[in-house]
Structure 1
């Protein structure tokens, strides 16, 4: 019976082995590490993988030759990603010619690696073992468009925190000054702000009702209170997410 593992790494450098292993363990991604092409071929006879990471400079059978054996002789269709100490521009043409699907260069970057994992592994695999469970925000869309870029996620989340604070203040001021026109404008703008943090299902209908300006005073107040409460809770969780991202970068 075939064993099923997420990732096979063929890498002979001990430091890079430890780096890759630490990054994958953070995401609970099962993996096996071998330090030669011969060992990789042997493992592939009894274990199936979702992704293969091959150093192109392996001793003996190098990453290019290993990929040809895997694709042409063993008829394995699993995606292969090259790890190279050369520049991407120098290596990519030969990588693709040998049947590899992508490549990234050393020194191994966690951000770049996670981007590769996002591209080739099932989405549910890319949930960090150290990430929090949030009750209000939903990071699915942000994770999808970021492709594992932690700096981008931090930038966008910081922007959300800043913008939602401004939107909530304007909503409150417009309501107290009874400026219905401005209230409608801000409600419409807030619709754009909330999408990135996955708040559409929680707030879209409420903000649309405020924007349309056909609520009684009591209904308007109730709807605004719901927006305030949800967005303030979302802002707290977004700040916790930023903290997680900072920890991730310093890992």
Structure 2
């Protein structure tokens, strides 16, 4: 009986391999990686997959040729989605004519990949993995720069938690001591702290607004900032704990 794997990644670019693998690993999907079409064909003869993600341009055998082999020689109906650096409008007709089910452009975005997984993987597979819903933080940027290095991700997130704790403590203390000008300095410093967890869009306006406020107006704004940051800390800690438990 052939081993059943969730996703086959057919990609010769090492960076893109790591990006896709990291996204799949985050949601606990199983996968195998082939660096070219010939290697992929060998894997397809010995394993079953729910979905194939392949690059159009690869050495030895390109994505179009591999797709034709999958459909005509191996006679597999597994969904095939292309990942390409080309303009989608220029290649989509050729992709679909070869037997593919979808295509999307590089650089690979997590939201697009998750859309493909939702569309093509069995619903029961989508219930696996860490289903914790991050309502505040967005780790897309961290995931992109870490290239799957989970030790680096933990280090960065733990540093974020430590730093934001200090920022919040100082903001509260300075507000109570009515040192308005120092609040503005800490607020600007906090903008750098929150960038790595995708909080800038949620907090930048609030933090920058402190620059033009009198001390008497700052209380409600600081409460909002504290609430969002405390929620972000909890989500960040959950992420660290979930990675460490793997």
TM-score where L is the length of structure 1: 0.55
* Structure 1 residues 173 and 147: alpha-carbon distance in aligned structure 2, compared to 1, 3 A threshold: same
Do 2:41 and 2:66's aligned partners in 1 also have CA atoms closer than 8 Å?
Answer: no
Which position in structure 1 is the counterpart of 2:142? 142
**RMSD of aligned C-alpha atoms?**
3.9
Q: Which SS does the other structure have where 2:223 is aligned?
A: helix
Q: Residues of 1 paired with 2:30 and 2:149: CA distance?
A: 18
Do residues 208 (structure 1) and 208 (structure 2) align? yes
The C-alpha deviation readout for 1:82-123, integer Å capped at 9, x for no partner, is xxxxxxxxxxxxxxxxxxxxxxxxxxxxxxxxxxxxx98653
Do 2:188 and 2:207's aligned partners in 1 also have CA atoms closer than 8 Å?
Answer: yes
* Structure 1 residues 120 and 148: alpha-carbon distance in aligned structure 2, compared to 1, 3 A threshold: farther
TM-score where L is the length of structure 2: 0.56
Structure 1, unpaired ranges of 5+: 10-19, 53-66, 77-118
Q: Which SS does the other structure have where 1:28 is aligned?
A: coil
The C-alpha deviation readout for 1:54-89, integer Å capped at 9, x for no partner, is xxxxxxxxxxxxx62x2499477xxxxxxxxxxxxx
Aligned length: 169
Do 1:180 and 1:213's aligned partners in 2 also have CA atoms closer than 8 Å?
Answer: no
Deviation, 1:237, is 1.1
Deviation, 1:213, is 3.7
Which position in structure 2 is the counterpart of 1:226? 224
Q: Residues of 2 paired with 1:120 and 1:142: CA distance?
A: 15
Q: Residues of 2 paired with 1:239 and 1:140: CA distance?
A: 16
Deviation, 1:181, is 1.8
Q: Which SS does the other structure have where 1:196 is aligned?
A: helix
* Structure 1 residues 38 and 160: alpha-carbon distance in aligned structure 2, compared to 1, 3 A threshold: closer
Deviation, 1:28, is 3.0
Deviation, 1:141, is 1.5
Do 2:178 and 2:215's aligned partners in 1 also have CA atoms closer than 8 Å?
Answer: no
Q: Which SS does the other structure have where 1:138 is aligned?
A: coil
Q: Residues of 2 paired with 1:38 and 1:172: CA distance?
A: 59
Bigger radius of gyration among the two: 1
Q: Residues of 2 paired with 1:201 and 1:159: CA distance?
A: 20
Do 1:8 and 1:49's aligned partners in 2 also have CA atoms closer than 8 Å?
Answer: yes
